[in-house]
Amino acid sequence: MAEEKKKVKAPKLADPVASSIDVASQEMIARSHELGVETIFDRALTMKPCAIGVQGTCCKNCSMGPCRLPLPKAGIEGEDTRKGLCGATANTIAARNFIRMIAGGAAAHSDHGRGVAEVFLAVAKKETDVYKIKDEEKLLAVAGHLGVATTVEVDGEELDRDIDEIALETAEVALNEWGKPEGELLYAKRAPKARYELWKKQGVIPRNIDREIVEIMHRTHMGVDQDYKNLIKQGTRAAIADGWGGSMLATDLQDILFGTPYPVQSEANLGVMKEDHVNLVIHGHEPILSEMIVAVAQKQEMIDYAKKKGAAGIQLSGICCTANEMLQRHGIPLCGTFLQQELAIITGACDAMVVDIQCIMQNIANVAACFHTKVITTHRIAQIEQDNVIHIEFDEHHAVEDAERIVKMAIDNFANRKAEVMIPQHKAPIVAGFGVESTEYHLGGSFRGTYYTLNDNIINGRIRGVAGVVGCNNARTKHNHDHITVVKELIKNDVLVLTTGCNAIACAMEGLLTPEAAAVHCGAGLAEVCETVGIPPVLHLGSCVDNSRILLAATEVVKAGGLGNDISEWPVAGSAPEWMSEKAISIGHYFVVSGVYTVVGVTFPTSGAPVFNNYICKEFEDIYGGMWDFEPDPVKHAHMMIAHIDKKRKELGIDKARERVMMDFASRQAL
């Protein structure tokens, strides 16, 4: 009998055009197929997600399970009798899983913050002189928020306190926020007074940052907390400890050490890589590493060394939030979003990809093995098992030496390029680097030096409201499609967008971060404001820990007056159209409990437990003034946010567009 040849199935390959709206990414996905290099876009076709996991009703917190409680196709009529072996209900399981996601996200942001606080302490103790205090004004402001005295009384006279003393005490008090034995999170009082009091009444003010995360792990252990309302209360404490604690401290201390961002020009997308330059791509989150690499790569001796090795210079660029950090303080171009990390290597021009922590896909090692690219891990807690990955542990005490070694390694690798270089010729100009301070400068009134002009334009209806649109890419959706659709729909309807993380990079690639974008994409009111003050309709506020800037900007709006007494009262909404990480859930939850109506796309991780789902997606509004919502269709998603904004305008009595009136001092005071 003739032996039948076994048919080998060809691997499924992603359709480039169906995978991304970005032409540069489409070209690189097609290129990966030509070269036989597998990427996340291909794997998303072959590996389907578990439907029960997506619904949040799979419990694997003990070895009697996993207990899987799928939602019946016909839904649940009458009593929900589903339970795990121990009797845990769908609500308990979904709430446990949800707050474990908050714990994961809060831990990631806050441990990042702790790393920065430790470097800040080393600087304050003068153990290192490579990092310095760049923004003394911000140090004094932060000292004030942490209760550190900035003046001292000498012979009845109030004198400025020594700046080194202030720095040391500020560093110590800041670090204490992670594990102090008693008291409450000091930054909780930075929220509007009404919000702080609401948290106090609800009993959700965090005690310290670490404790709330640890307590989630305890409560969700087999047989501990089995009341979804009590479980989510703990999730709320941990989320506040992230947004108003670990993340906010990370942002503040980074600004003190590396400088508070002010608007800068740059470019975005894979086309920022240069064929004749050494391309060093930095990926991850903590700017401690990237700050030093930026400094070293700009040294003349390094540029000369690169030239000696045949390159025209050194081109730095960034992926993920490290990209945002380097952009906002140094104007270093953005190479791409989370889903473009493999694609940057597939250009054949990436001489080194240097990574620190978070959002680093292990597959970059496999992709790099097909090229000459050196993948260099630098953080003690984030290493990769593949043999081709080099680990150079970065330490602030010998930061310059470490950075020099890394930059030299990239330069030495320039001559080893083997595949034909193909850099997509697509990039967009951008203006980034907005923050609480610069927004005050651009949109604040010279009259009061606050957010008054912003409030005034919200009240008169030129700006309908403000949206924070943030978060990841998700390989289960078309790359950047939902980000861009949501943002364009919002600005078309006069909603000013504040952005961070990968949404910010997506908007950058799409050309939405330029003042010129206002005339093309905005409604008449928003376009007029943007053109008058010269800002883009989408303001880039930084990395994901910098979502704390959105919280503080929202608080400044409340303080400026005329739009209620709390964040929940003014027309603001949040969104993460392509979320995927636990960090996004922690961010979403601190937005919600800070009073922001927040919509996510893709999937919702408690959909399999309707009662719990209804609690956080509906009943929460009565408790916190903010709630979760879910809509995968990006146009409907944006309109749900706009409907919320309109509801708030109506509640404030500003729902009818008013013409701008000249206001005298007395009328402003009345507001």
Q: How far is the CB of 197 from ligand BF8 (least distance, A)?
A: 31
Site string for ligand BF8, 543-562 (x = CB under 6 A): xx------------------
Q: How far is the CB of 348 from ligand BF8 (least distance, A)?
A: 24
Nearer to ligand BF8, 123 or 580 (CB): 580
Choose the stretch contacting ligand BF8; rule: CB under 6 A; options: 45-53, 185-193, 413-421, 580-588: 580-588
Please name which of 199, 190, 294, 195 lies closest in space to residue 247, comparing C-alpha atoms: 190
Q: Concatenated DSSP letters for 488-554? A: HHHHHTTEEEEE-HHHHHHHHHTT-SSTTHHHHHS-HHHHHHHHHHT--SEEE--SSTTHHHHHHHH
Q: Which of 289, 320, 389, 432 binds ligand BF8 (CB under 6 A)?
A: 320
CA angle 333, 335, 341 (to 5 degrees): 155
Q: How far is the CB of 107 from ligand BF8 (least distance, A)?
A: 13
Nearer to ligand BF8, 204 or 320 (CB): 320
Nearer to ligand BF8, 355 or 558 (CB): 355
Please name which of 100, 57, 49, 7 lies closest in space to residue 610, comparing C-alpha atoms: 57
Nearer to ligand BF8, 284 or 536 (CB): 284
Q: How far is the CB of 508 from ligand BF8 (least distance, A)?
A: 13
Q: How far is the CB of 472 from ligand BF8 (least distance, A)?
A: 3
Residue 247 near residue 110, CB atoms below 8 Å: yes
What are the residues facing 629 on neighbouring strands? 599
Nearer to ligand BF8, 281 or 458 (CB): 281
Burial of 647 (0-12, 13-18, 19+ CB in 10 A): middle
Asked if residue 574 binds ligand BF8 (CB under 6 A), the reply is no
Please name which of 174, 238, 80, 123 lies closest in space to residue 590, comparing C-alpha atoms: 238
Q: Structure tokens of 423?
A: 């850099």
Q: How far is the CB of 543 from ligand BF8 (least distance, A)?
A: 6
Nearer to ligand BF8, 485 or 581 (CB): 581
Q: Are strands 572-576 and 465-469 parallel, antiparallel or unpaired?
A: parallel
Burial of 476 (0-12, 13-18, 19+ CB in 10 A): middle
Q: How far is the CB of 604 from ligand BF8 (least distance, A)?
A: 17
- Region 485-524 residues binding ligand BF8, contact defined as CB under 6 A: 501-502
CB atoms inside a 10 Å sphere around CB 149: 12
Residue 231 near residue 615, CB atoms below 8 Å: no
Dihedral pair phi/psi, residue 546, rounded to 5°: -75, 5
Q: What HEC string does 248-267 produce?
A: HHHHHHHHHHHCCCCCEEEE
Site string for ligand BF8, 395-434 (x = CB under 6 A): ----------------------------------------
Asked if residue 583 binds ligand BF8 (CB under 6 A), the reply is yes
Q: How far is the CB of 242 from ligand BF8 (least distance, A)?
A: 12
- Region 235-294 residues binding ligand BF8, contact defined as CB under 6 A: 285
- Cα distances from 113 to residues 174, 251, 373, 498, in angstroms, run 10, 8, 30, 22
CA angle 295, 301, 307 (to 5 degrees): 110
Site residue total, ligand BF8 (CB under 6 A): 14
Please, which residues have CB within 8 angstroms of residue 92's CB and are 6 or more apart in sequence? 226, 227, 228, 231
Q: How far is the CB of 331 from ligand BF8 (least distance, A)?
A: 19
Burial of 23 (0-12, 13-18, 19+ CB in 10 A): middle
Nearer to ligand BF8, 169 or 252 (CB): 252
Nearer to ligand BF8, 195 or 283 (CB): 283
CA distance 77 to 89: 16
Please name which of 180, 171, 247, 234 lies closest in space to residue 207, comparing C-alpha atoms: 180
Q: Concatenated DSSP letters for 264-281? A: EEEEESGGGS-TTSEEEE
Residue 407 near residue 387, CB atoms below 8 Å: no
Q: How far is the CB of 474 from ligand BF8 (least distance, A)?
A: 9
Nearer to ligand BF8, 321 or 554 (CB): 321
Asked if residue 359 binds ligand BF8 (CB under 6 A), the reply is yes
Nearer to ligand BF8, 321 or 599 (CB): 321
Q: How far is the CB of 410 from ligand BF8 (least distance, A)?
A: 22
Residue 577 near residue 600, CB atoms below 8 Å: yes
Residue 560 near residue 455, CB atoms below 8 Å: yes
Looking up tokens 């610069």 gives: 438
* Amino acid at position 290, single letter: S
Please name which of 5, 21, 259 lies closest in space to residue 138, comparing C-alpha atoms: 259
* Amino acid at position 4, single letter: E
- Region 291-310 residues binding ligand BF8, contact defined as CB under 6 A: none
Dihedral pair phi/psi, residue 596, rounded to 5°: -105, 125
Asked if residue 107 binds ligand BF8 (CB under 6 A), the reply is no
CA distance 616 to 102: 14
Choose the stretch contacting ligand BF8; rule: CB under 6 A; options: 262-270, 484-492, 581-589, 598-606: 581-589
Nearer to ligand BF8, 583 or 648 (CB): 583
Choose the stretch contacting ligand BF8; rule: CB under 6 A; options: 49-57, 452-460, 577-585, 593-601: 577-585
CA distance 508 to 493: 20
CB atoms inside a 10 Å sphere around CB 11: 12
Q: How far is the CB of 134 from ligand BF8 (least distance, A)?
A: 23
- Region 461-480 residues binding ligand BF8, contact defined as CB under 6 A: 471-472
Q: How far is the CB of 558 from ligand BF8 (least distance, A)?
A: 26
Q: Which of 119, 146, 191, 321 binds ligand BF8 (CB under 6 A)?
A: 321
Choose the stretch contacting ligand BF8; rule: CB under 6 A; options: 91-99, 206-214, 524-532, 579-587: 579-587
CA distance 261 to 436: 9
Q: How far is the CB of 557 from ligand BF8 (least distance, A)?
A: 24
Nearer to ligand BF8, 105 or 525 (CB): 105
Q: How far is the CB of 58 from ligand BF8 (least distance, A)?
A: 23
Q: How far is the CB of 573 from ligand BF8 (least distance, A)?
A: 18
Choose the stretch contacting ligand BF8; rule: CB under 6 A; options: 18-26, 442-450, 578-586, 599-607: 578-586
Q: Which of 187, 244, 338, 615 binds ligand BF8 (CB under 6 A)?
A: 338
Asked if residue 581 binds ligand BF8 (CB under 6 A), the reply is yes
* Residue numbers at the binding site for ligand BF8 (CB under 6 A): 285, 320-321, 338, 359, 471-472, 501-502, 543-544, 581, 583-584
